[in-house]
Amino acid sequence: MAQDRLEIAGAAHLALPVGVRLLHPEEQMVEAMLAGWATQQQSRLLAASTIEQRLGIVRRFVGFTGTYPWTWAAVDVEEWSAGLRSGTRPRSHATLRGYQNAVALFCDYLIDPRYGWAAECQTRFGTHPVQICHEWNTASHTSGYEGRAGNRPFTRAELQAFFDHADAQVARARSLGRKGWLAAYRDATLFKVTYAWGLRRREVAMLDVTDFGRNAAAPEFGAYGTLAVRYGKAVKGGPPRRRNVLTVMGWAAEVVAEWVEQVRGCYGPGNQPMLWPTERGGRVATDYVDQRFAAWRRQLGLPEELRPHCLRHAYVTHLVEDGFDPFFVQQQVGHTWGSTTALYTGVSSDYKNRTLRRALERAYGGDGGSRQ
């Protein structure tokens, strides 16, 4: 067992000085705990920014309680949480839950017998840490998705108007002999790809030409039957999640083929793989995506609530309306939970009525379900 402990990153006996009497045992024990926790998280390949954020939260909690982890009680979390939700700068539900989660994870680490902190505290202070965050004193998930409430799918009419406007910018710049036609063409294609493969801003900005590939099950899409998304939204602290998105819109494959094979070379990217090169040889930035989208939205007079992410919402909604299986849609957009995909979906009244009509006809026959 002792040999096993030597192999565990973050174990108490590795974080505490050996054969040295602590001059300030309480304070030095807390620092050793935090250092051990940082090591344990590093061994799990969590991002440095995540580790620093969690350590900062726990340090603030230590300061709030004025006590030490082996003396903490559930009431400390309750009083801390009440303070965070009040005052001149009350924290949001999601922020509060993030703070509480950091403390809960720290407590889980301390009470795990593999790391030996509880035994050390019992020996040195006559007591030991316990888990102080419980179901009844911490904030719960309000839903499977906590994004901006204003995000909604484009209607089909809005989407068509936006793409028509994007194409018009290309035609206008070309007719005037302006150099900007190439950037306008690139950006119009970028937004079409965002919608047609249900992508987030960073996902689309980080695409390379080689991310597209063939799908033997859909040869009609040629070299653009699948898309490897390499920079999917990460679970907090983890690396970007990858997924493969199958092409479902034939027109989109044609749009990408034209861009890659006929137009992109005008930027002279050489061996650089980025799908959306700039004049300076770099990648299009997510801030630029926001700016271009906002400019075209403003020119069209579309609602300000529409953002680039709304193209992803529209993708989910339109696939559901077009009869794709919800689980297939969930896999396409990389959602862990079907409930998250459901929150992305905002089907139209026409779709709802058509669905109702089909259900009534199945239930009552072709008379539309009229009953006396």
pLDDT tens for each residue of 284-300 = 999 999 999 999 999 99
pLDDT score, position 95: 87
- Label the pairing between strands 241-246 and 212-213: unpaired
| Residue written as token pair 């379900």 | 369
119 and 172 share a domain? no
301 and 160 share a domain? yes
Residue 358 falls inside a structural domain:
no
- Listed residues 125, 143, 169: the one ending a domain: 125
For residues 80-107, give the mean pLDDT. 88
Residue 247 falls inside a structural domain:
yes
- Listed residues 258, 274, 306: the one ending a domain: 306
93 and 222 share a domain? no
Most trustworthy range by pLDDT among 76-80, 169-173, 257-261: 257-261
What is the pLDDT confidence band of residue 189, given thresholds at 50, 70 and 90?
Answer: very high
pLDDT score, position 4: 46
Residue 322 falls inside a structural domain:
no
CB of 184 within 8 A of CB of 170? yes
pLDDT at 236 over 50: yes
For residues 56-75, give the mean pLDDT. 94
Residue 10 falls inside a structural domain:
yes
Structure-block tokens of residue 80: 């801390």
CB of 103 within 8 A of CB of 133? yes
pLDDT score, position 369: 46
Residue type, 187: D
Percent helix, percent strand, percent coil in the chain, to nearest 5 = 60, 5, 35
Residue type, 282: G
Q: How far apart are CA 194 and CA 26, in angstroms?
A: 54
CA 29 to chain centre: 36
For residues 169-185, give the mean pLDDT. 90
For residues 40-69, give the mean pLDDT. 92
Question: Domain total for the chain?
Answer: 2
220 and 291 share a domain? yes
99 and 164 share a domain? no
pLDDT at 145 over 60: no
Virtual CA dihedral for 87, 93, 98, 102, nearest 10 degrees? 60
121 and 164 share a domain? no
pLDDT score, position 183: 95
CB of 206 within 8 A of CB of 188? no
pLDDT score, position 365: 66
pLDDT score, position 170: 94
89 and 162 share a domain? no
Q: Kindly state the percentage of the chain with pLDDT values over 70.
A: 84
What is the pLDDT confidence band of residue 5, given thresholds at 50, 70 and 90?
Answer: very low
pLDDT at 361 over 50: yes
pLDDT score, position 15: 87
**Residue 272 maps to which CATH number?**
1.10.443.10
Residue 357 falls inside a structural domain:
no
Beta strands in 76-198 (DSSP E): none
Residue 48 falls inside a structural domain:
yes
Q: What DSSP character marks residue 127? A: -
- Listed residues 306, 338, 364: the one ending a domain: 306
pLDDT score, position 24: 83
Q: Which residue has the higher pLDDT, 277 or 269?
A: 277
Handedness of CA 188, 189, 190, 195 (dihedral sign): positive
Residue 45 falls inside a structural domain:
yes
Q: Which residue has the higher pLDDT, 144 or 156?
A: 156
162 and 301 share a domain? yes
pLDDT at 6 over 80: no
What is the pLDDT confidence band of residue 146, given thresholds at 50, 70 and 90?
Answer: very low
167 and 251 share a domain? yes
For residues 115-141, give the mean pLDDT. 88
* pLDDT tens-digit readout, 303-334: 999 999 999 999 999 998 888 888 898 899 98
6 and 101 share a domain? yes
160 and 268 share a domain? yes
pLDDT at 2 over 80: no
93 and 193 share a domain? no
pLDDT at 185 over 80: yes
- Label the pairing between strands 226-232 and 212-213: antiparallel
Handedness of CA 248, 167, 257, 307 (dihedral sign): negative
Long-range contacts, stretch 123-127, CB < 8 angstroms, 24+ apart: 124/25, 124/29, 125/25, 125/26, 125/68, 125/70, 127/70, 127/71
Residue 290 falls inside a structural domain:
yes
Domain that holds residue 36: 2-125
Beta strands in the chain (DSSP E): 212-213, 226-232, 241-246
Lowest mean pLDDT among 43-57, 140-154, 229-243, 253-267: 140-154
CA 16 to chain centre: 37
Long-range contacts, stretch 106-113, CB < 8 angstroms, 24+ apart: 106/33, 106/37, 106/54, 106/58, 106/69, 107/69, 107/72, 107/131, 107/132, 107/133, 109/10, 109/36, 109/37, 109/40, 110/33, 110/69
What is the pLDDT confidence band of residue 91, given thresholds at 50, 70 and 90?
Answer: confident
